[in-house]
A and B are shown apart, each in its own frame.
Chain A
Amino acid sequence: MTDLLVVRAALIVLFVLAGLFFTFVSMTGVIRLPDVYSRAHTASQADTLGAGFALAGVALTLGWQGAGFKTVILLFFLFVTNPTAAHAIARAALEEGIVPWTEGDERR
């Protein structure tokens, strides 16, 4: 029984660390990348991989009960809606007439 708990704790640490890593990568991208389209790409990466791994760790912590199911539903919701939101934002930027960055342009 305790062995099972130790394996679960190790999995939780692994998942949460992966989530933190991807969220950090995405923060770097959101700050450093040159224009709104590339930022939309890296922002949705934080939302799917970063939040996905972190919430999987939280769901493992809460276990096989009501709150754990809620976390899985939250994970699925974020996984579906956040790329949709990033797509809508990038499309709004295109329809407003923002020109995509190409090599040699100055950073925005």
Chain B
Amino acid sequence: MSVVDVTIAAGVTVGDFLLGSAAVLVLIAIGMFYRAIRGPTMQDRVLAVNVLGTNTVVILAMLGAALEEPTFLDIALVYALLNFLMAIAISKFTVERGGVL
């Protein structure tokens, strides 16, 4: 018996709880899109997209744990790396070459 199958309350297992938390995180990410779309400066947008990427990494890890598919964690690691590179590259290009967008 793995910990994913442990019941925490009224028929809800830990796996179900992780899936529900992933859904809540998706809703929070949709709220974050407001700043990515409206953000008056480009730095606002990069910041919002950076937080969205971190949210995506956490959602991927939660899905991997809940569905018992550890392969998702590899994808999450690569995504975290790309996310960091994106933020550093765009903020460097805006200073030195006047923007990439």
Contact = CB atoms under 8 A, between A and B. Distances in A.
Interface of A: 2, 5-6, 8-10, 12-13, 16-17, 19-20, 23-24, 26-27, 30-31, 36, 39-40, 43, 46-47, 50-51, 54-55, 57-58, 60-63, 66-67, 70-71, 73-74, 77-78, 81-82, 84-86, 88-93, 95-96, 98, 108
Interface of A is mostly: helix
Given A20-B24, A43-B50, A70 B91 contact: no
List the 9 closest A-B pairs by CB distance, nearest first.
A67-B70, A92-B91, A85-B87, A93-B43, A9-B6, A61-B65, A81-B84, A88-B91, A70-B73
Interface of B is mostly: helix
Contacts of A8: 3, 6
Nearest to B66: A61
B14 A61 contact: yes
A88 B65 contact: no
Contacts, number: 169
A93 B28 contact: no
Given A9-B3, A24-B28, A74-B73, A19 B84 contact: no
Interface of B: 1-4, 6, 8, 14, 17-18, 21, 24-25, 28, 31-32, 34-35, 40-41, 43-44, 46-48, 50-51, 54-55, 57-58, 61-62, 64-66, 70, 73-74, 76-77, 80-81, 83-84, 87-88, 90-92, 94-95
